[in-house]
Structure 1
Amino acid sequence: MLRAFANAFRTPDLRRKLLFVLFIVAVFRLGSQVPTPGVHMANVQECFKANGNNGIYGLINLFSGGALLQLTVFALGIMPYITASIILQLLTVVIPRLETLKKEGQAGQSKITQYTRYLTLALAVLQATGIVALARTGNLIQGCNKDLLYHNDTKTALIMVVTMTAGTGIIMWLGELITDRGIGNGMSILIFTQIISRFPLSLWEVKKSNGWYVFGGVLIMGFAIIAAVVFIEQAQRRIPVQYARRMVGRKMFGGSSTYIPLKVNQAGVIPVIFASSLLYLPAMAVSFNQNSTSPIITWISTYLVKGDHPIYMALYFIMIVFFTYFYVAITFDPEEVADNMKKYGGFIPGIRAGKPTQEYLSYVLSRITLPGSLYLGIISLIPLIALVLVNANQNFPFGGTSILIMVGVALDTIKQIESQLQQRNYEGFLR
């Protein structure tokens, strides 16, 4: 990886792109430290240091690099865009109009991207309104009894909502700038930046709480987890496909061999986000009914709020496995793949084209999704288990969503850098 970056900086064009990405990342991190107008930063910092790890918005706080619970301009981070993208991807399967746009190529994809932007801003308004409402009532940071705002009036709340929503719009723009003029996927790199920014603080908290021996053990375990995640993320089942020769006019086409790569983790990190988001709903309900004596609220606050309870862990694991199968089922259509192969004269050796190919792909996909779902569930339980074993917070650095996103983004970025280096080497050789 270091060698790829070193070679990239020796190439003028790639060096400009990498420096541009670093500049955008610096601007992004600066916006994550600028407080929203009306926020009492001294009280926020004090409450965040004492109780920030127990907030109900842990997932959004993770994706914002800790900016959410500090109520900065970029407090919402990239989470509204992620949610909007997932919703549009799911609606593409349900709404025929979106499915048609998806098949129209670049023009249709541009329209879907535009819809994603509009939905992102709408979700940002909703999330900002909820966060500001919690900040006004004092429930945003659990256990904090200080005023987080200078003035608890409607005008201040409105300014904060507008500022946070505008911050989300700026984040979208910065991500698209990286995609167009830099290297890699802009949104993914911004998520990577926010997650990696919390690593030093999280590791130092482990050291302060448990000493150097536990700290060293956590580092060793962390590198082992990263190696395992890299191995699984690269693992795939390659289904061989052959194309028969066919005449089109006076030209002969086909006769080639290729393969369909089915990844072990076909769903990526989406099932973890789904499961985490749903499990934050009970915690949110409890935060708005803290003084209630209802047995339902009591049961939820006992079993479904803190991640160190076995019922919470079991439910989290089951939901991840379920959403893995669900997401793979809606994103990979064996019938469509089989029809496209038949249309272009492709077939799997030993399998008849058409319905038998579809059944074979469904069978392989269901078998390969099982280890992928178990892998996601186990990786996601690591920070919860660490919460019990080493008394770490739920943003334990080595595990769960953070490691999955970091490794995935790093591998994808390195592949793009290497492909561009390869392309330039070939061009030089041809000249």
Structure 2
Amino acid sequence: MASAAEQLAANLNFAAFAKATDLQKRIWFTIIALVVYRIGTFIPIPGVDPAAFAQAFQQQAGGILGMFNTFSGGAVERMAVFALNVMPYISASIIVQLMATSVPSLERLKKEGEAGRKQLNQYTRYLTLVLALGQSYGIAMGLQASQGVVTNPGLFFVASTVITLTGGTMFLMWLGEQVTARGVGNGISLIIFTGIISDLPRIMFQSLALAREGQLNPFGIVVVAVVMLAAIVFIVFIERSQRRLVVQYPKRQQGNRMFMGESSFLPLKINTAGVIPPIFASSLLLLPSTIIQFAGMGTNVPEWLAMVQGQIGYGKPGHLALYGLGIIFFCFFYTSIVFNPEETADNLRKYGGFLPGRRPGKQTAEYLDFVLTRLTVLGAAYITIVCLLPEVLISAYSIPFYLGGTSVMIVISVTLDTVAQIQSHLVAHQYEGLIKRSKLRGSGAPKR
């Protein structure tokens, strides 16, 4: 039988949306913030020759730069002020989460509730600044090393580039936090989502133009399109899938009343790690070779390093094998961070809940670990297939731009999350309306 919340959600319509003025304000705030972000992706940093940089970028458009360019909505290709996007913030968030599981002081902060979470967020901001400074400095030096890209190389160009790119990242971090607090959904995820969506029309027109000129096989484009559509359906099915463990609560007595035991569900997602594993795996594989090429060192690469690049370069069999192994490793690694079976079992015992047939405490934790391990095997296989299959097709048909399964996963995951956020706001508005109407009926009842 459907719960009250599910019944309300099923009855949502445009009339309910028209009455939810707070939700409308949140949506408008989100749209305005994302428009500001898109404007920033077209403002170039000073001192860079756009034509020379575009020519240098096309030489590595299929590598890690291509992936970052897709995530940033073309800001990397234009070397705009938002070229770094929110990648330093994402890296900093992951590093802080990893440290929170191994550093005792950070682990204590993690358990202190809201106050500890705010302090960890502050550490994340500081680390974001450090990473943004390091990455922007590396980009500035790489631009200078590329012949003809920088009009006036020197200390002033390096300083202005570092300040501009770091400031852009910090502004996007602040903008994402504002969208999270005043808008709809996770602001950082929506920024990445907007970048990917805005770059899709360019990729489609570029594909058609190359096919018309005979540089791309039309059959290859059709195959990639069909695979992408099938991947969308597959991703939606898996992301919506859950393993629900029944949680039983015993009978309890409150005053003279006896409340019967209740039951609920503990939902475990098949893909607990999300899109973090492919992002980490691809970054580790492609970043060193891309930095070498981008810094203009391609002609001075040692022989042993050139041989390694030839074996694990983008699209090579060695790269695909290491990419798949990296995804599997980070799936298990990140799942162990975001879900702690012992902590979950302890929380269930504190609130009097238990899994039928399992004793509270250690036995419950072992069972949760047993179930989660098998779900992670399925999740790792699912992410590996979704991410590797487009890479194989791109390499087989020599498609000169990035369009990977990671982008599709991010778009679908953020879309589902945003729809759920809007639905939760509408359900809350429906509840508020029911409560107000019940109070009015109660106040208007005749007194005895």
> SS of the residue aligned with 2:115?
helix
Matches of 1:256 and 1:66, distance apart in 2: 52
- Among 70, 73, 79, the alignment partner of 2:78 is 70
Partner of 1:311: 318
Partner of 1:354: 361
Change over 3 Å in CA distance of 1:133–1:293 after alignment to 2: closer
Change over 3 Å in CA distance of 1:251–1:92 after alignment to 2: farther
> SS of the residue aligned with 2:369?
helix
Partner of 1:148: 149
Q: Deviations over 1:97-145 (max 9, x none)?
A: 112112111111111111111111110000100111111111xxxxxxx
Larger Rg: 2
Q: What is the correspondence of 1:64-213 to structure 2 with a 5 Å cutoff? A: 64-138=72-146, 147-210=148-211
Change over 3 Å in CA distance of 1:9–1:136 after alignment to 2: farther
* AA at the equivalent of 2:236: V
How many residues align? The count is 419
Q: Deviations over 1:200-229 (max 9, x none)?
A: 111222223335655444433322211110
Matches of 2:203 and 2:339, distance apart in 1: 37
Matches of 1:311 and 1:45, distance apart in 2: 29
* AA at the equivalent of 1:327: Y
> SS of the residue aligned with 2:43?
coil
* AA at the equivalent of 2:282: S
Partner of 2:25: 16
Asked if the contact 1:383/1:395 (under 8 Å) is kept, the reply is no
Asked if the contact 1:63/1:79 (under 8 Å) is kept, the reply is no
- Among 231, 242, 247, the alignment partner of 1:236 is 242
Partner of 1:143: none
Change over 3 Å in CA distance of 1:298–1:51 after alignment to 2: closer
How high is the TM-score relative to the length of structure 1? Answer: 0.90
Q: What is the correspondence of 1:243-392 to structure 2 with a 5 Å cutoff? A: 243-246=249-252, 255-284=261-290, 286-287=292-293, 289-292=297-300, 294-306=302-314, 308-392=315-399
Displacement of 1:319: 1.0
Partner of 1:407: 412
Q: Deviations over 1:221-268 (max 9, x none)?
A: 322211110100111111111122345788877822112111100110
* AA at the equivalent of 1:23: I
> SS of the residue aligned with 1:347?
coil
Matches of 2:260 and 2:101, distance apart in 1: 31
Change over 3 Å in CA distance of 1:217–1:386 after alignment to 2: closer
* AA at the equivalent of 2:163: V
Asked if the contact 1:207/1:214 (under 8 Å) is kept, the reply is no
Matches of 1:253 and 1:30, distance apart in 2: 58
Displacement of 1:353: 1.7
> SS of the residue aligned with 1:261?
strand
- Structure 1: give runs of 5+ residues left out of the alignment: 139-145
Partner of 1:142: none
Matches of 1:154 and 1:351, distance apart in 2: 66
Change over 3 Å in CA distance of 1:285–1:158 after alignment to 2: closer
Change over 3 Å in CA distance of 1:176–1:252 after alignment to 2: farther
Matches of 1:228 and 1:354, distance apart in 2: 36
Q: Deviations over 1:382-423 (max 9, x none)?
A: 331122333213512xx4210111111100000011111122
- Among 422, 425, 428, the alignment partner of 2:430 is 425
Q: Does 1:221 align with 2:227?
A: yes
> SS of the residue aligned with 2:244?
strand
Asked if the contact 1:52/1:69 (under 8 Å) is kept, the reply is no
> SS of the residue aligned with 1:57?
helix
Change over 3 Å in CA distance of 1:372–1:54 after alignment to 2: closer
Displacement of 1:8: 3.7
Displacement of 1:69: 3.5
Matches of 1:76 and 1:89, distance apart in 2: 21
Q: Which has the higher contact order (CA 8 A, sep 6+)?
A: 2
Matches of 1:365 and 1:281, distance apart in 2: 31
Partner of 2:9: none
Asked if the contact 2:239/2:270 (under 8 Å) is kept, the reply is yes
* AA at the equivalent of 2:281: A
Asked if the contact 2:196/2:407 (under 8 Å) is kept, the reply is yes
> SS of the residue aligned with 1:262?
strand
* AA at the equivalent of 1:17: R
Matches of 2:341 and 2:394, distance apart in 1: 40
Structure 1 vs Structure 2 CA RMSD = 2.4
> SS of the residue aligned with 1:260?
strand
Displacement of 1:14: 1.9
* AA at the equivalent of 2:409: L
Partner of 2:7: none
Asked if the contact 1:241/1:257 (under 8 Å) is kept, the reply is yes
Asked if the contact 2:341/2:365 (under 8 Å) is kept, the reply is yes
Displacement of 1:169: 1.1
Displacement of 1:72: 0.9
